[in-house]
Amino acid sequence: MKPLTAFFVIAAGLSPTAGNGQSAEPPPVTREFRGIWVATVSNIDWPSRPGLTSWEQQAELIAILNRAVALRMNAIVLQVRPATDALYDSKLEPWSEYLSAQMGRPPEPYYDPLAFAVEESHKRGLELHAWFNPYRSRHPSAKSEIAATHLSNTRPEIVRAYGKHLWLDPGDPAVRSHSLRVIIDVVRRYDLDGIHIDDYFYPYKERDSAGVLIAFPDDASWARYERAGGKLPRDDWRRNNVDTFVRELYRATKKLKPWVKFGISPFGVWRPGYPEQIKGFDAYAELYADSKRWINEGWLDYFTPQLYWPIGREDLSYPVLLRWWISQNTKGRNIWPGNFTSRVGVPAPQGFTAQEILDQISATRMEPGASGNVHFSARALMQSRDSLVERLMAGPYAGPALVPASPWLDRIPPRAPRVAMRRDIATRAPLI
């Protein structure tokens, strides 16, 4: 009968210790997003090299997940579509060569890496967010022959050669349709906690052998837009192409599975001069990424600006940029800045000390409008340069944390529990 008695006490909302002078207040719950990017392009994090057996791939991924648990992290952001390829079983795009060393070849023996990652993450209490690159179609690190099922062979009219890359043209509606179809297919088939896109929209500018900037080859789609009566200047048209994709992906995800979070991790600076002391790269003008608009409009559930610079750098100050982004969060979405944790242990002047990352976590916690961090990337946390892992475990991540709530996803509170007791008809004795 003791378990039943305890059940009724809890169901009634009473504390078993309320009568003995002890506090009836539950302990406070820490809510902080603690994420790790697991990059697969160029085998940055996982798998460690192409062509490993399935068992070796699985063992490596489990080691990353176990390290995340040891660090009291609560989310994995796994890159599943680095370049119109798939680290999951897809009928729309070929298997990634970063898995099997040959584009189009499945893992041997067969398994579905994303399904495996979801299951193993959830076993450990970790969220799994699937990370997609919507426009990159081939990375310079790729070595294998392009598969017959790759988009550059099946739909060559929407793929562009740009410098050392192949790239999809964001101005072609067929590109938007295809990438949306690919991502929503994954949302539909897998038990994801979130989907994620990073800072690659229009490509970072490349130069030819003479050092001259290469123009992005979108003349055909621009001419089509003008023939259809489009009035926007070309740069605004390019930004609108990306805006439309972001908005439609957010809406399509919410229509299918409202609880799946959509996050974006853009370049950490919107434009030089915002705020006033900030200098450097102009993602608005160069990548045609109006990330300020996305957070202003609320076309996402979490925003992870890549704040990859040290606190002490005045022209790209981590806390100054973070506060500015928080000021733009007019819809009250989650802000979880990204940290360049992989710079720990890198030689000066580019490198960080472990203390820099600890200080950045502290700086994030000092801002009421931010509630977590995402670390790039898993390799740094597996290697623990400058005793980073030990210092995280003894310091900011000494205790566990739950993922912050996203109340706009579901405003329906859970129903109050209903308690019933059954009795034996003959003896009237309670049945447990």
Tell me the C-alpha distance between 15 and 23, whole Å. 9
* 93 touches 149 (CB < 8 A): yes
pLDDT per residue rounded down to tens, the chain (432 residues): 433 333 333 444 444 444 455 556 778 889 999 999 999 999 999 999 999 999 999 999 999 999 999 999 999 999 999 999 999 999 999 999 999 999 999 999 999 999 999 999 999 999 999 999 999 999 999 999 999 999 999 999 999 999 999 999 999 999 999 999 999 999 999 999 999 999 999 999 999 999 999 999 999 999 999 999 999 999 999 999 999 999 999 999 999 999 999 999 999 999 999 999 999 999 999 999 999 999 999 999 999 999 999 999 999 999 999 999 999 999 999 999 999 999 999 998 899 999 999 999 999 999 999 999 999 999 999 999 999 999 999 999 999 999 999 999 986 666 777 766 666 666 766 655
Catalogue the E-assigned strands of 269-376. 302-303, 334-335, 338-339, 372-375
3-class DSSP assignment, residue 335 = strand
- Of 33, 10, 137, 2, which is closest to residue 81 (Cα–Cα)? 137
Query: For the chain, what are the domain ranges?
Result: 34-431
CATH, range 34-431:
3.20.20.80
What would the two tokens of residue 320 be? 């100054």
User: H or E stretch including 37?
Assistant: strand 33-38
Could you report the per-residue pLDDT of 337-351, keeping only the tens digit for each?
A: 999 999 999 998 899
Could you report the per-residue pLDDT of 222-251, keeping only the tens digit for each?
A: 999 999 999 999 999 999 999 999 999 999
pTM: 0.91
H helical segments located in 209-313? 219-227, 234-256, 283-286, 291-297
- Peptide bond connecting 377 to the previous residue in cis, omega within 30 degrees of 0: yes
